[in-house]
């Protein structure tokens, strides 16, 4: 069974509890029946060489503050997948990528927040693979992970289509899209839909690229998911805006 890779814009942690279009989109994005495990590459775990989470029961990391007691107490207790994680390490090494086990680290909010909406009963194993330190390495990681899609593994790149926090933090949740955020989104969306991977790989020359991604870690999960899908045309499953400058896009890439 083939399970197409996903790119999820995870937004602020309170997407878990706010009544927003993105909240409802994630809650309706159920895992495919028969999914064996979920592998998440999140913007909030960078490590080079790549690390693979091998804990049998990863903890819930609250790597944020200021979002209220409900989120501070929230726990996502899906099991890990240590055997599959070990196999992924060997797969990455066979592809020429340096990789090692990470037995202690828990799940960051880029992983557990969207999964708490997508799969709230937390029965399917979820484990993370760290984000590498360059765009080229992110693409190479996605290509190396791609065969897992044919082994009932849901690959998710969790980041942000736009991530202009300086503009987003003071904005209201339902504020209209910032012009510079909209310019970048309008540039990349048709290229994702057409599978124009070469142009997307040169994203730093896109309109307002530095405004939207002053640092690249929230963009690179998109490169991972796109490469895991074989560079095929993407299908947009959801578009909305949060806090003016966070495009909450969800994309599927046919593997």
pLDDT digits (tens, 9 = 90+) for 64-84: 988 899 989 999 999 999 999
CA angle, 25 then 228 then 6, to 5° = 5
Residue 247 CA neighbour count, 13 Å, CB half = 28
Give the pLDDT mean for 211-218.
98
Q: Is the pTM of this model over 0.85?
A: yes
Under the banding of pLDDT at 50, 70 and 90, the label for residue 232 is confident
- Does the pLDDT value for residue 206 go beyond 70? yes
Residue keyed to tokens 């990349």: 188
- Does the pLDDT value for residue 5 go beyond 70? yes
pLDDT for 143 equals: 97
Give the pLDDT mean for 107-129.
98
Residue 203 CA neighbour count, 13 Å, CB half = 31
For residue 220, give the nearest of 142, 140, 146, 135 by alpha carbon: 135
Task: Please tell me the distance from the alpha carbon of residue 191 to that of residue 195, in angstroms, as a whole number.
Answer: 6
Sheet with 153-159, side-by-side order of all strands: 126-128, 37-42, 153-159, 6-9, 250-253, 234-238
92 burial type by CB count under 10 A (0-12 exposed, 13-18 middle, 19+ buried): buried
CATH T-level topology, domain 6-253: Protocatechuate 4,5-dioxygenase; Chain B (3.40.830)
- Does the pLDDT value for residue 6 go beyond 80? yes
State residue 124 phi and psi, 5-degree precision: -85, 135
- Does the pLDDT value for residue 117 go beyond 70? yes
- Does the pLDDT value for residue 255 go beyond 80? no
């Amino acid at each position: 069974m083939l399970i197409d890779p996903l790119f999820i814009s995870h937004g602020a942690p309170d997407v878990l509890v706010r009544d927003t279009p993105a909240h409802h989109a994630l809650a309706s994005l159920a895992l495919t029946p028969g999914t064996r495990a979920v592998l998440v590459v999140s913007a909030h775990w960078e490590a080079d060489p790549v690390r693979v989470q091998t804990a049998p029961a990863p903890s819930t990391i609250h790597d944020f503050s200021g979002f209220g007691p409900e989120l501070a107490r929230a726990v996502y207790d899906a099991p890990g997948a240590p055997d599959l994680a070990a196999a992924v390490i060997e797969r990455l090494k066979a592809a020429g990528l340096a990789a090692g086990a990470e037995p202690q680290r828990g799940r960051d909010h880029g992983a557990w927040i969207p999964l708490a909406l997508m799969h709230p009963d937390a029965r399917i194993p979820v484990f993370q693979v760290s984000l590498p330190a360059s765009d080229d390495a992110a693409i190479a990681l996605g290509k190396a992970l791609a065969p897992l899609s044919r082994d009932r593994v849901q690959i998710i790149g969790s980041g942000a289509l736009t991530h202009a926090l300086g503009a987003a933090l003071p904005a209201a949740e339902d504020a209209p899209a910032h012009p510079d955020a909209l310019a970048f989104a309008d540039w990349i969306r048709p290229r994702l839909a057409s599978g124009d991977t070469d142009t997307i790989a040169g994203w730093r020359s896109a309109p307002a690229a530095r405004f939207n991604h002053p640092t690249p870690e929230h963009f690179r999960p998109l490169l991972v998911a796109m490469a895991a899908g074989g560079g095929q045309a993407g299908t947009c499953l959801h578009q909305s805006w949060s806090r003016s400058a966070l495009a909450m896009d969800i994309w599927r890439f046919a593997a």
